[in-house]
Each structure stands twice: as structure tokens, then as C-alpha cells.
Amino acid sequence: MEANRGMIKSTVRILVLVCFLALIGGAGLQAAEYPGQPVKLIVPWAAGGDTDAVMRVVAHFAGKYLGQPMVVINVPGVGGTLGARQGKDAKPDGYTLTATHESVISSRIVGVADFDYSSFIPIVNLVNTPAMVAGRGDAPWSNMKEVVAEAKKRPGQITFGATLGSTSHFFPLDIAHHAGIDLKIVGYEGTAKRQAALLGGFIDLGESNPAVGQQYFQTKKLKPLGIATPKRHRLLPDVPTLREQGIDVLFGVNRGVSAPLNTPKEVIEKLSRVFEKVAQDQEFSKKINELGSDVVYLDQAGYRSYIDTEFKRLDILAVKFNLKGPAPKK
């Protein structure tokens, strides 16, 4: 009897071990075969905007190293949170990724979203797009020093277009904070609508970037007033930095890729290797530079460290300007 019990226990242990090894082997096989079909990249913004343009380049080159196409799916709305929510709730199998940038932080801080980067696995940061201030074509100012002087005379009257709760909202707040001025923020959903409003003269100021703005600066439809980079940009060497004009602001949009929580570690590691190759591709750098952006590669650890630092910085601005949203739901 005792011998039979011992045999049964041994058999159970063996079966449990076999099942465990089968699960591990299955996961390893799944990762080895990944990707076996095209990978979707959700871009939580409308087609034609800055993020869309950059991420289409990212997707093209990622497909080159993945061995499967990476297909951009635009899901605009609610300041970028509609698409981001779909991305975080997607099946965690590596076949649905999300293009993420600082809006995932800012939207949570102001309460537009009830989730943030903790609802994703941040895989990599690939691109930085420097922010700059553009004025409407007939604006009475030629630089940010003049804007600041006017704003101090007329507090709250100079308008600045932004997508509320997004990075384009925090950019003018950062300027106002460091310059000691009060700007009137006017909300628009997405880059294209903000730019249309600026070109139409419906607002005084707006955010732009070197590549997009350049064509409008040359035709005098917009005025370049200052750029938020450490030094002048290669595409606009005549445009002074904000720091040169006494405004200690560095600002840009860092664009990366994230996956849903519980995506297999082996899949994340494979994607990380793919994106590292993308970042090292000279043709990729060329395409990104043509868009007025720069390749800024941060691996998983570097990306997470940046996210933590940026969350703290934007949170300080939200407190100062009374933009803090409700606490996360438990």
C-alpha cells in the first residue's frame, strides 16, 4: 500500500513537471516564432500630424527588421487617450503596440485619463521632436522677448493654441512659469487643427517644430519666435533658442513604443532588439532628420528613467497652474 502511494506521488510530480516544462517550451516556441503575422502600431492621433509622420517612418523600418509589416492604425480622440486606452487593453501577445509620448503622462496628471505609463510596458524611445513657438504671420512680435514684454502689459490676453492636457498644453505653461507671464490657452484637438487656427489668425501663438514650421516661415505665413533646444537647430540656424532670450525652457516630444502589460518577456526582448537596430539604421536617421526630429534612443531602462523624471517635472507645472486631476481609481 505504501509503495503504491509512493508511486502515485511520484507519478503526480512527474506529470506536474512535464506540464510545467510544456508551458515553458510553448512560450519559448511562441516567442521564437514571433511575429508570425503583421504587427499593429496604434497611433493615438489623426493622420497627418507630427506623431503620425514620425511613427510611419518607425513602422516602416521596424518591419524591415521584424520580418513582418508593422501597420499604423490611427485612433484619434480625447487628447490621445482614446487610442492609448485601446493599446493598453489589447491582447498582450506582441501584435498590438502603442505609439507613446509625454501625453500619457500629462493626460493622467490633468485627469483626462485614469491610466499612465504604469498601464504599459515601455519598450523603447526612438525620436525627439524639439518644440518651438510660432506666431501668426501678422503677429506684432519678432521674438519671444517681445512676446514676454507684451504679455506682462496684457496678462491673460495673448492666446496660445494647445490640445488640452497634452504636451502642447504643458509647453506654454512651462514658458509662462519661467517667464513670469500669463498666457490664454485655447484648446484644439490635435496638431492639424491647432496649426489651422494659427495659420488662420484665430490665435496668436502655437507650438511648431523645425520641419513643419520651415515651409510656413519661408512664405511668411508664420513667424518663428524661439526654439526650446539647448542650441540653435540645424534647420533654422537664425532662430534663437528660448534660453538665449532669457526663458530657461527645454522642451520636446519624445516618441516611443509601448506594449500591453503581461506581454511575454521574450517578445518584449525581441522587439527591443528590433528597435535598437532601427535606431542604428542610417537611413532611418536621415528620414527622421528630414522631419525636423532627432533620433534619441533610450532602451527599456533609460525610457523608464526618463518617464519618472518627466512625470515629476510636469506634475510641478500642473500644481502651479491648478491642473491636477483626480487620484487614480483603485
The x, y and z cell numbers of residue 329, run together, are: 481609481
| Cβ pair 105, 81 in contact under 8 A | no
Q: Who's near 157: CB < 8 A, 6+ residues apart? A: 151, 184
Which of 92, 22, 35 lies closest to 62, judged by CA? 35
Q: What is the mean pLDDT of each run of 10 residues along the chain (330 residues)?
A: 51 46 47 90 90 96 97 91 96 98 92 93 97 95 97 97 89 97 92 90 94 91 97 94 98 97 98 98 96 95 97 95 73
| Cβ pair 207, 193 in contact under 8 A | no
Distance CA 80, CA 112 (A): 10
Distance CA 329, CA 308 (A): 20
Q: Show the domains of the chain with their CATH numbers.
A: 32-128+255-320 (3.40.190.150), 132-245 (3.40.190.10)
With helix as H, strand as E and coil as C, how does 8-42 read? HHHHHHHHHHHHHHHHHHHHHHHHHHCCCCCEEEE
From start to end of the chain, where are the E strands? 39-43, 70-74, 96-100, 120-130, 132-136, 159-162, 184-187, 205-208, 222-227, 252-260, 294-298
Question: Residue 6 has what pLDDT?
Answer: 52
**What phi and psi values does residue 193 have, to the nearest 5 degrees?**
-70, -35
Question: Residue 328 has what pLDDT?
Answer: 53
How many CA atoms does the CB half-sphere of 38 hold within 13 Å? 10
| Cβ pair 253, 82 in contact under 8 A | no
Coil/strand/helix, residue 263? coil
Question: Residue 5 has what pLDDT?
Answer: 53
Kindly state the greatest CA–CA separation across the chain.
Answer: 98
Neighbours of 299 (CB within 10 A): 15
**What phi and psi values does residue 196 have, to the nearest 5 degrees?**
-60, -40
The structure's pTM equals 0.82
| Cβ pair 159, 204 in contact under 8 A | yes
Question: Residue 192 has what pLDDT?
Answer: 80
In the chain, helix, strand, coil percent, each to 5? 50, 20, 30
Distance CA 100, CA 124 (A): 10
Question: Residue 189 has what pLDDT?
Answer: 81
**What phi and psi values does residue 67 have, to the nearest 5 degrees?**
90, 0
Neighbours of 52 (CB within 10 A): 20
Pairing mode of beta strands 184-187, 39-43: unpaired
| Cβ pair 268, 126 in contact under 8 A | no
Helices (H) and strands (E) in the chain, counts: 11, 11
Question: Residue 325 has what pLDDT?
Answer: 82
Question: Residue 166 has what pLDDT?
Answer: 84
